[in-house]
Amino acid sequence: MYADDETVRAILRESGDTWAVVGLSANEDRAAFGVARVLQRFGKRVVPVHPKAETVHGERGYATLADIPFPVDVVDVFVNSRLAGPVADEAVAIGAKAVWFQLGVIDPQAYARTRAAGLAMVMDRCPAIEIPRLS
């Protein structure tokens, strides 16, 4: 409902290769850790965004999206749905091209705001599932 295959393909293939992964930490048991690894295998630069600002998968982490000193193409969101809207707003503010809310991350108002700002958006899907499915 919140993204068709065409939008998913466009984000994966055309939006750019620098992905800020919000909620990514060095905790190997978290879904973000494994998904970030898949993104890297498919040629994406993964930038961890987490309050601890840890280095993950060889990439320096940042505490917030605003702290990243270079352009970000896609913001991939692994936070609780009630916290996701402000992250989408930050993605708009930093000039990202797209926002991706992971499986279970749902905020229809944030979706509407993000789309109204001109960004592509996917909600409640996982790029680690979509990349092989749509390749």
**Rounded CA separation 4/120 (Å):** 11
Q: For position 2, what pLDDT does the model report?
A: 83
Question: Whole-model pTM?
Answer: 0.96
Q: How far is CA 25 from the centre of its chain?
A: 14
Average model confidence (pLDDT) across the chain: 96
For the segment 110-120, what is each residue's pLDDT rounded down to a tens digit? 999 999 999 99
Structure tokens at 57: 């998968």
108 to each of 41, 53, 72, 81, how far by Cα in Å? 31, 28, 23, 10
For the segment 71-111, what is each residue's pLDDT rounded down to a tens digit? 999 999 999 999 999 999 999 999 999 999 999 999 999 99
Q: For position 135, what pLDDT does the model report?
A: 67
116 exposure class (CB count in 10 Å sphere: 0-12, 13-18, 19+) = exposed
108 phi and psi, to 5 degrees? Answer: -60, -35
The letter for the amino acid at 57 is H
Structure tokens at 65: 């999206």
